[in-house]
Amino acid sequence: MSAANRGATIRAATPADVPAIFGLMFELAEFEKLTHLFIATEAGVHEALFGGRPAAEALVAEQEGEIVSYALFFQNFSTFLGKRGLYLEDLYVRPSMRGSGLGTLMLKQLAALAVERQCGRFEWSVLDWNQNAIDFYEKMGATVLPDWRIVRVTGEPLERLAR
């Protein structure tokens, strides 16, 4: 799977891309002002994407030999649809490439993958303060669900719940 846009090529990530993906992940954390929560490691990302039991997949966009965007995604399942879904965890485009159509092309590539895999839906989350992203997603035909909230348990509360 690969596609080109204004000199950028989108392709499936390879193990050699992990350092660049990891760097872009940190840039995303900076953009979202969440670096204090960023504890991922390059080794952990490599294991998640290319280990013995991969938990996720990634696409990257390259321009002139440099990775300028990534999309990290995984399959989930909808009991209501009775089908798998594609969940987009991260879509990050370097600021210098924003407005070039690369984000649109990445989403289209992922949507095509969801259709190819016979997924019932393609979904992701967006921060409520990121109006530019919300507007972009709605323009692409996505619906921002107003009645749903993310529920999360991590760290010590997760350990406690598991006991």
The pLDDT assigned to 104 comes to: 93
Q: What band does 125 get if pLDDT is binned at 50, 70 and 90?
A: very high
Output the average pLDDT for the chain: 93
Among the ranges 3-7, 58-62, 100-104, 133-137, which has the highest mean pLDDT value?
58-62
Question: Which positions are annotated as active-site residues?
Answer: 137
For 75-116, the pLDDT digits (tens) are 999 999 999 999 999 999 999 998 899 999 999 999 999 999
Spatial CB neighbours of 6, under 8 Å, sequence gap ≥ 6: 63, 100, 101, 102
- Could you give the C-alpha distances from 45 to 14, 20, 95, in angstroms and in order? 12, 11, 23
Checking if the pLDDT of 19 tops 70, the result is: yes
Please give the average per-residue pLDDT across 121-143, as a whole number: 92
CATH superfamily of 2-162: Gcn5-related N-acetyltransferase (GNAT) (3.40.630.30)
Checking if the pLDDT of 121 tops 90, the result is: yes
Q: Does the reported pTM lie above 0.85?
A: yes
According to DSSP, the residues that pair with 90 across neighbouring strands are: 72
Nearest to 127 by CA among 49, 32, 53, 62: 32
* Cα distance between residue 69 and residue 66, in whole Å: 9
- The residue assigned the tokens 């035909």 is 141
* Cα distance between residue 11 and residue 101, in whole Å: 16
Rounded to the nearest 10°, the torsion over CA 153, 136, 36, 44 is: 70
